Amino acid sequence: MKPLASLAVRSIWNRRGTATLTVFALAVSVMLLTGVELLRTGAKESFARTISGTDLIVGARSGPVNLLLYSVFRIGEPISNLSWDSYRLVENHPAVAWTVPIALGDSHRGYRVLGTSDDYFSHYRYGERRPLEFSEGHAFADEQDAVLGAEVAHAFGYSIGTDILLSHGIGEVGFHEHEEHGFHVVGILAPTGTPVDRTVHVSLEALAEIHGSEEMAGLTAFLVGMKSKDSVLVMQRALNEYRQEALTAVIPGVALQQLWQVVGVADRALFLVAALVVLAGLIGMLAMILASMGERRREMAVLRAVGARPVHVFLLLLIEAVLLAATGAVAGILAAHFALAGAASWLASRYGMFLSPQGPGLFDLLVAAAVILAAALAGLLPAWLAYRNALTDGLAVRT
Amino acid sequence: MRLFALLLAMGFATAAVSAPKTIDWMDLIPAEARNRPPPPPPPTIHDFLMGEEGPAPLLQPGDLDVNRELDGVEIRIPGYVVPLELDPSGLVTELFLVPYFGACIHVPPPPPNQIVFVRIERGMKVDSMYGAYWLTGRLSVKSRQTHLGAAAYTLVATNYEEYDY
Amino acid sequence: MNEAALEISDLRFAYGAGSPVLDIPRLIVKRGERVLLRGPSGSGKSTLLGIVSGVLAPGGGHVKLLGSDLGAMPAASRDAFRGDHVGLIFQMFNLLPYLTVLENILLPARFSACRRDRCSPNPVSEGRRLMTALGLSGADEATRRVVNLSIGQQQRVAAARALLGRPELVIADEPTSALDSDLRDSFLQLLMAECNAARATLLFVSHDTSLGPRFDRQLAIHDINRVRTDEASA
């Protein structure tokens, strides 16, 4: 076997032009497949860990997935606000343990501003019931205080004591800077790997004052924790059926599950497409090897002359196919991991998707094995052709 | 050899003792409550939020009655899943198990003794909320009597399977 | 050591279901003999070489090479036998384009432990010695890519490869047909000198009758093969 392997390597090296193209095509297709899977699991994880320990999210009448997206992931906007009357009703209900109001709509240099009460910092959980922690400072005490998510602080180098201005709307540049309303950074949160990191938190009263309103700021949504699990479904139904205002109350786990059902279809389709692309890459490799068969008949005759058996000829071609595929697969997998690591911050800012960096794992091993196996199967064709030719050619190669 | 026989016997005994008991939702209502005359229709649900005298209890007599015989029993029960908590890979770790589909969407929720709060540590892969699942585990029964009801049934689930029709 | 290198009796061969190509009642080549086999194209010379080298199995009769009956061996054994005991030179395309000159010469040592072990002190130095003996030495000749060689040089490399490890039988199928007469003469001279030194038997096929005097024996294929084929039907 060893002499065959080194012959196979030299043979490929001799044709390294076309071999490189073949390997490149395979690598790109494997990169696509691996990338799709990485994105899928990363997105799922990123979304699943964003909110925990909250029984209900309530907003103005809207689809449940939509409500989840804008209130928790800061993707999209609500169509309208809630009334404070509805909020008070729930807040004071004996079956309710806690509520946290949320007002969205402003921004600071492209990062969303969240108006809320200081209960947010004690009741908001993520991951598996992990609470928010401060890496520096504390929650807001005065009206002009702000608490920054880890990434906001890092991006602009803010620290405790920095003064910042807010803009209206969520565009990257604000033309309506609230000049007189600077905020004072009093706390910076530890990184969570959720949209919290990309948020500036201020008090609701401060937001109200900015918008020149005597009352509270417009309420986008609120989070609810019930005293007892069994009243969750009842409260949800009551809010959905509430006659005084059109509301939607959603259980976060249910909305996430529904979100995944939508995504799941697209994701499976994408995976199938990627698998087909890999197949195309393998066909390209097969074509390359078959195209070289003609000129290699004499090569095989030489090997036969020095004592190689037809099975050696067979193995030589099979080894070539496997080597090409293995190189392409490994290159593709590594490229996918690098590309995703490089795009991580863009994905986080654009799509709220926080991918935890991880090296190649079990799935990648399976992909590589599958590609190599498929290549070996594809390589059986030229290998068998060469074997048959070796048997019938004798010493005089009629090409 | 004798040790082996002893272990084998213990194994059989344990298996016989802890084979989960398959139950259905009627079993969660205690025997005496099942035979009551049908109750009057419940007040409309929005009264839960603001009845004339404040939040009205939505419960019917007997909704809080629990079947104490099932406390601590290993059971196996089929139902629909309302996910509550997910683990990082998207598996459901806490959920409500309910007897009919849509309990969280557009039909009235079941009474407390027809809801099971389930914790499943290993996480459950719920491909579709439209399908039912069998859950196996140890049931515990509490009845805290408050006018708001009691988290009647809790299941610590060790296993789940898809329900085949 | 007078046993025959090659002993053929009643050899018959046809390709698949075709008409017979070979029908040879008797042929004996002694050890160390240098035989020239002549005949026109399509007369079955290459087929005979294929059988003698073990690439093709005899259809009927016996072919004994160095005392071993090739017809009684399975294909794998014939291949191994060839690797161990036979050196082959073709008319053209003898070399693997992706190996260097020296690597091509060392090919038999890759596939035959026997040939490898007969190189003293080791295959590389034997390879280099053969290069010198066949007029191939130059500073970087060993590592040159074979595509850069002239046809004359390529044939010498093929000869060196055929001789590596002292195989008992060297078969050359029209090795000089593509060379001009000067090159041909010097090639033959060097080849024969090495065969003599190694005491190898040489079976040389060519349509060129002028080479005759250099050989111990000349054979016309039609003298030994009862099958007559027209050139047109070849």
Give me the tens of pLDDT residue by residue for chain A, a chain 399 residues long: 677 888 999 989 988 898 999 999 999 999 999 988 888 888 888 888 888 899 999 999 888 888 988 888 888 877 888 888 899 989 998 889 999 999 887 778 878 889 999 899 999 999 888 899 999 899 888 888 899 998 888 888 888 888 888 766 555 555 555 555 678 899 999 988 888 988 999 988 888 777 766 556 678 999 999 988 878 888 888 898 888 889 999 999 999 888 888 777 888 888 899 899 989 988 988 888 888 888 788 888 888 888 888 888 899 999 999 999 999 999 999 999 999 888 887 777 666 677 777 777 888 899 899 999 999 999 999 999 888 888 777 666 554
Of the listed ranges A305-309, B44-48, B82-86, C183-187, the one predicted with least confidence: B44-48
What is the DSSP annotation of A149-165?
-HHHHHHHT--TT-EEE
Task: Band the pLDDT of B59: cuts 50, 70, 90.
Answer: low
- What span, in angstroms and rounded, lies between the C-alpha atoms of B158 and C7? 81
> What's the rounded mean pLDDT across residues B96-106?
79
Q: How far is A43 from chain B (nearest CA, A)?
A: 10
Chain C residues with beta carbon closer than 8 angstroms to that of A307: 79-80, 82-84, 108, 111-112
Residue in chain A nearest C114 by alpha carbon: A307
Pick the more confident residue, B5 or B53.
B5
Asked if A239 reaches chain B (Cβ–Cβ under 8 Å), the answer is: yes
Chain C residues with beta carbon closer than 8 angstroms to that of A395: 46, 49-50, 53, 55, 88, 90, 173
pLDDT at B163 over 90: no
> What's the rounded mean pLDDT across residues C27-35?
92
pLDDT at C87 over 90: yes
C99 vs A10: CB contact, 8 Å cut-off? yes
Tell me phi and psi for residue A255, to 5 degrees: -65, -40
Query: How, if at all, do strands A221-226 and A96-108 pair?
Result: antiparallel
Considering only CA atoms, which of C206, C232, C202, C168 is closest in space to residue C45?
C206
Strand partners, A126: A130
Asked if B53 reaches chain A (Cβ–Cβ under 8 Å), the answer is: no
Strand partners, B54: B51
Chain A residues with beta carbon closer than 8 angstroms to that of C47: 394, 396
A230 vs B95: CB contact, 8 Å cut-off? no
pLDDT at B54 over 50: no
Q: What distances in angstroms separate CA A196 from CA A131, A259, A319, A352, one per listed residue?
A: 12, 20, 52, 10
- % of chain C at pLDDT higher than 70: 96
pLDDT at C145 over 70: yes
Chain B residues with beta carbon closer than 8 angstroms to that of A44: 89-90
What is the DSSP annotation of C170-182?
EEEESTTTTS-HH
Encode A2-35 in three state secondary structure. Answer: HHHHHHHHHHHHHCHHHHHHHHHHHHHHHHHHHH
Of the listed ranges A374-378, B13-17, C16-20, the one predicted with least confidence: B13-17
How many residues are recorded in chain B?
A: 165
Chain B residues with beta carbon closer than 8 angstroms to that of A260: 90
- What span, in angstroms and rounded, lies between the C-alpha atoms of B51 and B40? 18
Task: Band the pLDDT of B148: cuts 50, 70, 90.
Answer: very low
A396 vs C46: CB contact, 8 Å cut-off? yes
B86 vs A230: CB contact, 8 Å cut-off? no
- On the 0-12 / 13-18 / 19+ scale of CB atoms within 10 A, A68 is buried
Considering only CA atoms, which of C21, B37, B3, B152 is closest in space to residue A230?
B152
Out of C97, C110, C161, closest to residue A3 by CB: C110
Chain A residues with beta carbon closer than 8 angstroms to that of C74: none
CA torsion sign for C46, C50, C53, C57 is negative
Structure-token match 């040879």, residue found: C24
Asked if A154 reaches chain B (Cβ–Cβ under 8 Å), the answer is: no
Structure-token match 């907003």, residue found: A59
Instruction: Provide the pLDDT for residue B17.
Output: 58
- A73 and A352 in contact (C-beta within 8 Å)? yes
Task: Band the pLDDT of C231: cuts 50, 70, 90.
Answer: very low
Out of C46, C50, C83, closest to residue A307 by CB: C83
Query: Collapsing DSSP states into helix, strand and coil, what is residue A200?
Result: strand
Instruction: Provide the pLDDT for residue B49.
Output: 66
Q: What is the pLDDT of residues C148-181, one digit of tens each?
A: 888 888 999 999 999 999 999 999 988 888 888 8
Instruction: Provide the pLDDT for residue B13.
Output: 63
Q: How far is C233 from chain A (nearest CA, A)?
A: 15
pLDDT at C146 over 80: yes
A229 vs B117: CB contact, 8 Å cut-off? yes
- B85 and A253 in contact (C-beta within 8 Å)? yes
Asked if A225 reaches chain B (Cβ–Cβ under 8 Å), the answer is: no
Structure-token match 């309420």, residue found: A219
The number of C-alpha atoms within 13 Å of C50 and in the hemisphere containing its C-beta is 24
- C171 and C52 in contact (C-beta within 8 Å)? yes
Instruction: Provide the pLDDT for residue A323.
Output: 93
- What span, in angstroms and rounded, lies between the C-alpha atoms of A252 and A48? 10
Task: Band the pLDDT of B111: cuts 50, 70, 90.
Answer: confident
Of the listed ranges B70-74, B142-146, C21-25, C49-53, the one predicted with least confidence: B142-146
Q: How far is A304 from chain C (nearest CA, A)?
A: 8
Instruction: Provide the pLDDT for residue C160.
Output: 92
Query: Collapsing DSSP states into helix, strand and coil, what is residue C23?
Result: strand
Task: Band the pLDDT of C232: cuts 50, 70, 90.
Answer: very low
How many residues are recorded in chain C?
A: 234
- What span, in angstroms and rounded, lies between the C-alpha atoms of C196 and C187? 14
Chain A residues with beta carbon closer than 8 angstroms to that of C55: 304-305, 394-395
User: pTM for the whole thing?
Assistant: 0.73
Residue in chain B nearest A234 by alpha carbon: B109
Please report all neighbours of A, defined by 3+ CB atom pairs within 8 A.
B, C
- C35 and C64 in contact (C-beta within 8 Å)? no
- Which residues on chain A place their C-beta less than 8 Å from a C-beta of chain C? 3, 7, 10-11, 13-15, 298-299, 301-312, 394-397
Chain A residues with beta carbon closer than 8 angstroms to that of C107: 302-303, 306
C161 vs A396: CB contact, 8 Å cut-off? no
- On the 0-12 / 13-18 / 19+ scale of CB atoms within 10 A, A13 is exposed
Instruction: Provide the pLDDT for residue A352.
Output: 64
Instruction: Provide the pLDDT for residue A354.
Output: 73
Instruction: Provide the pLDDT for residue B90.
Output: 81
Chain A residues with beta carbon closer than 8 angstroms to that of C108: 306-307
Tell me phi and psi for residue B161, to 5 degrees: -145, 155
Tell me phi and psi for residue B38, to 5 degrees: -60, 135
- % of chain B at pLDDT higher than 90: 16
A touches C, CB cut-off 8 Å, minimum 3 pairs: yes
- What span, in angstroms and rounded, lies between the C-alpha atoms of A249 and B49? 13
Question: Which of the residues A1, A395, A398, A399 would you substitute to probe the C interface, choosing the one with the greatest number of C C-beta atoms within 10 Å?
Answer: A395
Query: Cβ atoms within 10 A of the Cβ of C226, count?
Result: 11
Asked if B124 reaches chain A (Cβ–Cβ under 8 Å), the answer is: no
Instruction: Provide the pLDDT for residue B52.
Output: 43
Instruction: Provide the pLDDT for residue C208.
Output: 81
The two tokens of residue A213 are 């309103």
